[in-house]
């Protein structure tokens, strides 16, 4: 089937038109020059610089921002392009990056006011609306443009299908964008040079046990057997991985692959490049909220109904549909309504943050699938992560993943095995005073305070934002942390003894290829709290990624992949298994959906 979309529609739904110049509105010349404004982004304050001629904006610079790659960072670039092209202040906020968008508008208004251009730019026309059709026809429709959705879409194209992806946010990539990008896979080529002894059987056993024996064995086997193929598939799309294999927080093993460039947005950038290069076969429509699955009288799913920007009704007729809408961790009301499992003693209300992008992780895909007859399983299996930022729940600054770090409470005492499962870590944190703790690192982790870490942040940036504290000695850092220096020194000494071969009272096992004694300053510490991170329950699927009813019967034409599915991770997900899940089952869903249609 050929895609029936007009050539006038661009990849991100932006129709081209002649730029509007503010000159028509100008009653008097502006004051040429370069002006600055200090604004508050989502992640941190930044300086915005705007240059004006006597009748136009000639440059906008937001390069000092610390917004997340693929989210706020990309939103600022999109808004810059729109404001420059249309010479206007009337740019819409990007859904999924609202606070970043607001900071842009605020800064541009401030600078325009300084230049005497405010009135003219406020009166200028907004960018033209996209040319969205009422109806589209395609082989496969993917609902959700995150990691799993884009992986499935690309796999479907590679299997010969035409594809339309519906993404409700104005950004692409979902929660994969803000992940660290860790992907677990048994990879002898990389692991053996590091002295890492691993096997697919060990990976399987660890995943089953880490999920408290609740994972569906055939799904776990498919994940662990095919994860390395996902690494190689990503490499074929241009993703570069580090040679060094790490350990994501709660991975229970050293098999985490990390992109060579920071964060999970690396995967999304490669996917976006594929979409751009194959625009005759795949279309991505942003700001498109799926509202209902279209079913045939036979019960088969044959399309999707959606709303563009909450207003225009759109129908996508498709031979198969893949739901990849992510989890529901940011939906406070829903997550609390199903919270009768491992965290039933904890109220998962607004006091507990979330690592996910809030407009994205709302769980609408569950309702879509259930409306078509799919069974939902394991909804109470909600995972908390120990790396939350107090007040937001976002994973920022010094991360809990990796090696050469200790966790101490507000008394300066270690209280847990830093390598334990995520649920064990969070339970231990909740038992500490104020339900919080510090992650403490030193020069081993950050030898150069200006060198970006795996997430693109530098120590000096974190310090400038006031997100972390530092000291040249243990006594100095303990003082700014407000903890007992003797306790902190004793915690560091005990950890160093474990690195040297001693048995740890908490059960931490040092890795002789990755861990070293922490002895020299400077020292750095960052406050952390538990945060909602992943929802393991969702749509019941089989090993073909087909959505199934309560009796295990596949629903014809309906597939699902990623965090929206249940049964893979049990009641606790291992760190690094989410990206492995998205890519492995995403490829599986896309290939099988294409085969179903083409056959």
In the set 255, 399, 403, 422, the catalytic residue is: 422
Domain that holds residue 477: 384-531
Each residue's pLDDT tens digit, 87-130: 999 999 999 899 999 999 999 999 999 999 999 999 999 998 88
Instruction: Tell me the three state secondary structure of residue 237.
Output: coil
- Which one of 123, 153, 188 terminates a domain? 123
117 and 139 assigned to the same domain: no
224 and 315 assigned to the same domain: yes
Each residue's pLDDT tens digit, 268-319: 999 999 999 999 999 999 999 999 999 999 999 999 999 999 999 999 999 9
pLDDT at 24 (0 to 100): 45
Q: What is the pLDDT averaged over residues 9-23?
A: 39
Whether 218 is in a domain gets the answer yes
Give the dihedral sign, CA 92/97/103/108. negative
Whether 11 is in a domain gets the answer no
Query: Rounded to an integer, what distance in angstroms lies between the CA atom of residue 585 and that of residue 576?
Result: 14
- Which one of 509, 531, 553 terminates a domain? 531
Whether 197 is in a domain gets the answer yes
pLDDT at 6 (0 to 100): 37
pLDDT at 255 (0 to 100): 97
Whether 90 is in a domain gets the answer yes
Q: Report yes or no: 23 and 55 within 8 Å, Cβ to Cβ.
A: yes
Residue 13 or residue 348, greater confidence: 348
392 and 486 assigned to the same domain: yes
Q: What is the pLDDT averaged over residues 534-554?
A: 97
Between helices 147-158 and 577-598, what is the axis angle to 10°?
40
Q: What is the pLDDT averaged over residues 227-256?
A: 95
520 and 388 assigned to the same domain: yes
The neighbouring-strand residues paired with 531 are: 385
41 and 114 assigned to the same domain: yes
136, two tokens:
């589209």
369 and 475 assigned to the same domain: no
The whole-chain average pLDDT of the chain stands at: 92
Residue 565 or residue 403, greater confidence: 565
508 and 524 assigned to the same domain: yes
CA distance readout (Å), 537 to 107, 145, 313, 430: 42, 20, 30, 23
pLDDT at 544 (0 to 100): 98
Domains: count for the chain: 3
Each residue's pLDDT tens digit, 559-571: 999 999 999 999 9
pTM of the model: 0.87
73 and 116 assigned to the same domain: yes
475 and 550 assigned to the same domain: no
Query: What is the band of 3 on the pLDDT scale with cuts at 50, 70, 90?
Result: low
CATH of residue 452: 3.90.700.10
Query: What is the band of 20 on the pLDDT scale with cuts at 50, 70, 90?
Result: very low
19 has a pLDDT exceeding 50: no
Express as a percent the part of the chain with pLDDT over 70: 95
59 and 200 assigned to the same domain: no
Whether 594 is in a domain gets the answer yes
Q: Report yes or no: 488 and 443 within 8 Å, Cβ to Cβ.
A: no
pLDDT at 15 (0 to 100): 35
Whether 354 is in a domain gets the answer no
Q: Is 527 a catalytic residue?
A: no
Each residue's pLDDT tens digit, 197-229: 999 999 999 999 999 999 999 999 999 999 999
Whether 560 is in a domain gets the answer yes
484 and 503 assigned to the same domain: yes
292 and 434 assigned to the same domain: no
Query: Rounded to an integer, what distance in angstroms lies between the CA atom of residue 93 and that of residue 309?
Result: 12
How is the beta sheet containing 45-52 ordered, strand by strand?
33-40, 45-52, 57-61
pLDDT at 13 (0 to 100): 37
Query: Rounded to an integer, what distance in angstroms lies between the CA atom of residue 523 and that of residue 441?
Result: 6
Whether 129 is in a domain gets the answer no
- Which one of 488, 515, 531 terminates a domain? 531
pLDDT at 178 (0 to 100): 84
What is the 3-state secondary structure of 427-477? HHHHCCHHHCEEEEEECCCCCCCCCCCCCCCCHHHHHHCCCCEEECCHHHH
Q: Hey, what long-range contacts does 475-483 have (CB within 8 A, 24 or more apart)?
A: 476/521, 476/523, 477/440, 477/521, 477/522, 477/523, 477/524, 477/525, 478/412, 480/525, 481/412, 481/438, 481/525, 482/410, 483/408, 483/410, 483/411, 483/412, 483/438
Q: What is the pLDDT averaged over residues 370-377?
A: 97
């Amino acid at each position: 089937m050929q895609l029936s979309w007009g050539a006038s529609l661009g990849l991100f739904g932006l129709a081209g038109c002649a730029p509007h110049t503010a000159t028509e509105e100008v009653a008097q010349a502006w004051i040429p020059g370069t002006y600055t404004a200090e604004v508050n982004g989502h992640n941190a304050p930044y300086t915005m610089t705007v240059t004006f001629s006597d009748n136009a904006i000639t440059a906008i610079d937001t390069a000092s921002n610390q917004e997340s790659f693929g989210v706020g960072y990309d939103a600022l670039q999109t808004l810059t392009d729109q404001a420059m092209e249309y010479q206007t202040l009337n740019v819409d906020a990007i859904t999924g990056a609202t606070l970043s968008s607001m900071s842009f508008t605020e800064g541009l208004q401030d600078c325009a006011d300084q230049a005497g251009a405010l009135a003219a730019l406020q009166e200028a026309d907004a960018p033209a609306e996209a040319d969205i059709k009422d109806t589209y026809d395609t082989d496969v429709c993917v609902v959700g443009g995150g990691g799993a959705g884009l992986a499935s879409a690309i796999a479907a194209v590679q299997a010969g299908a035409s594809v339309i992806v519906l993404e409700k946010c104005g950004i692409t990539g979902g929660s994969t964008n803000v992940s660290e990008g860790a992907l677990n896979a048994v990879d002898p080529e990389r692991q053996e040079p590091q002295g890492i002894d691993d096997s697919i059987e060990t990976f399987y056993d660890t995943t089953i046990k880490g999920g408290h024996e609740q994972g569906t064995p055939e799904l776990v086997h498919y994940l662990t057997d095919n994860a390395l193929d996902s690494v190689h598939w990503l490499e074929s799309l241009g993703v570069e991985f580090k040679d060094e294999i790490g350990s994501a927080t709660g991975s229970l093993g050293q098999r985490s692959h990390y992109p060579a460039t920071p964060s999970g947005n690396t995967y999304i950038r490669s996917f976006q490049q594929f979409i751009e290069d194959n625009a005759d076969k795949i279309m991505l429509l942003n700001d498109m909220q799926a509202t209902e699955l279209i079913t045939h009288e036979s019960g088969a799913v044959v399309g999707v109904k959606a709303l563009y920007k909450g207003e225009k009704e759109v129908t996508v007729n498709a031979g198969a549909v893949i739901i990849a809408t992510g989890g529901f961790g940011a939906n406070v009301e829903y997550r609390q309504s199903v919270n009768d499992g491992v965290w039933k003693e904890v109220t998962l209300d607004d006091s507990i943050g979330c690592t996910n992008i809030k407009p994205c992780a709302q769980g609408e895909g569950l309702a879509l699938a259930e409306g078509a007859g799919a069974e939902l399983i394991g909804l109470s299996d909600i995972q908390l992560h120990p790396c939350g930022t107090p007040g937001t729940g976002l994973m920022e600054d010094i991360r809990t993943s990796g090696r050469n770090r200790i966790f101490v409470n507000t008394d300066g005492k270690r209280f847990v095995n830093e390598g334990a499962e995520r649920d064990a870590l969070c339970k231990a944190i909740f038992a500490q005073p104020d339900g919080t703790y510090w992650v403490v690192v030193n020069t081993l982790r950050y030898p150069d305070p200006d060198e970006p870490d795996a997430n693109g942040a530098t120590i000096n940036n974190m310090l400038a934002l006031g997100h972390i504290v530092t000291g040249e000695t243990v006594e100095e850092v303990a003082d700014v942390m407000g903890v007992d220096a003797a306790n902190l020194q004793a915690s560091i000494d005990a950890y160093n003894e474990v690195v040297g071969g001693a048995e740890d009272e908490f059960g931490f096992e040092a890795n002789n290829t990755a861990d070293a004694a922490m002895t020299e300053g400077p020292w750095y510490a960052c406050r952390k709290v538990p945060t909602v991170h992943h929802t393991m329950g969702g749509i019941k699927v089989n090993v073909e990624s087909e959505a199934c009813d309560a009796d295990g019967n596949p629903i014809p034409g309906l597939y699902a992949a990623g965090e929206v599915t249940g049964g893979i991770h049990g009641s606790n997900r291992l760190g690094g298994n989410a990206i492995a899940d998205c890519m492995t089952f995403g490829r599986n869903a896309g290939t099988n959906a294409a085969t179903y249609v083409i056959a």
